[in-house]
A = this chain, B = another copy of it.
Amino acid sequence: MDQSIKKKRARGRLSREMIEDAAFEVIEREGLSGFSMRKLAAALGCEAMSIYHHFPSVAHLHEALVDRLIGALEIPDASLPWRQRMRIAIEDFRRIGRDHPAYSSFIVTYRMNSPTCLAWLNGIIGLFKDGGFDTELSARLFRTVGYYLMGAVLDENAGYSRGPSAVNTVSDEQLARDYPNVMAAGRFFGAAEFDKTFELGLDMVLDEMERLRDGANASQPSGKV
């Protein structure tokens, strides 16, 4: 009857949003390194090159993905207590990792520079200023907290608990025999312990920041070595 069985091309079928949605799915399904334009196209039911009409390159696509994740974040309301605002902002970012585990290692190594991301960064640094820190301490403490957060997101989503990267792995018996500390600690390295471990370290950092702000004298130790 109709001249061609596959003429279901339907012009405006694709869109940036559709492609982004599919990209998130493919990345989580295939893993970050297993992601490719051809697999993405397959998921969309189109050819790889069709995607290039909407995104000039994979880099542009990735930028859009990061923008979507970061753009969805909000700076916690200024009426809330400072410490709570800080925690919310940090947990918001951490949740991105949990929601997109395969993509988390990309986000953590991504140098954000789009307007969307800069707006968020600007708000987060503003959070430190709101906490009473001057420009320098705001910048440095942003790094301190950021370092901790990036490392945590990395470990929780791409880390030890997901199995080893190594090719030659070590058996459990060997582990117990030769590396007892690792063996003993392993119990606290699983996904079930992530929250508690994260909270512990986060509270430490937040405590220390408040101490730093509320007079940097009360602090005893700091043996400075």
Which residue of B is nearest A126, CB measured?
A: B181
Instruction: State which of B168, B185, B211 has its C-beta within 8 Å of the C-beta of A114.
Output: B168
Docked-complex contact B155 and A114, CB < 8 angstroms: no
Docked-complex contact B185 and A142, CB < 8 angstroms: yes
Least CB distance, A124 to chain B, in whole angstroms: 8
A142-B185, A144-B148, A222-B207 given; A63·B168 CB < 8 A: yes
Instruction: State which of B84, B109, B174, B201 has its C-beta within 8 Å of the C-beta of A158.
Output: B109
Which residue of B is nearest A145, CB measured?
A: B201
Choose the segment among A18-26, A42-50, A132-140 that binds chain B (4+ C-beta atoms closer than 8 Å).
Answer: A132-140
A82-111: contact bitstring with B at CB < 8 Å (1 yes, 0 no)? 011001000000000000000001001111
Docked-complex contact B114 and A166, CB < 8 angstroms: yes
* Number of identical protomers: 2
Task: Tell which of A57, A185, A218 has the most Cβ of chain B within 10 Å.
Answer: A185
Which residue of B is nearest A127, CB measured?
A: B181
Q: Which A residues, 186 to 211, have Cβ-Cβ distances below 8 Å to chain B? A: 186-189, 193, 196-197, 200-201, 203-205, 207-211
Docked-complex contact A225 and B87, CB < 8 angstroms: yes
Docked-complex contact B179 and A119, CB < 8 angstroms: yes
Docked-complex contact B63 and A111, CB < 8 angstroms: no
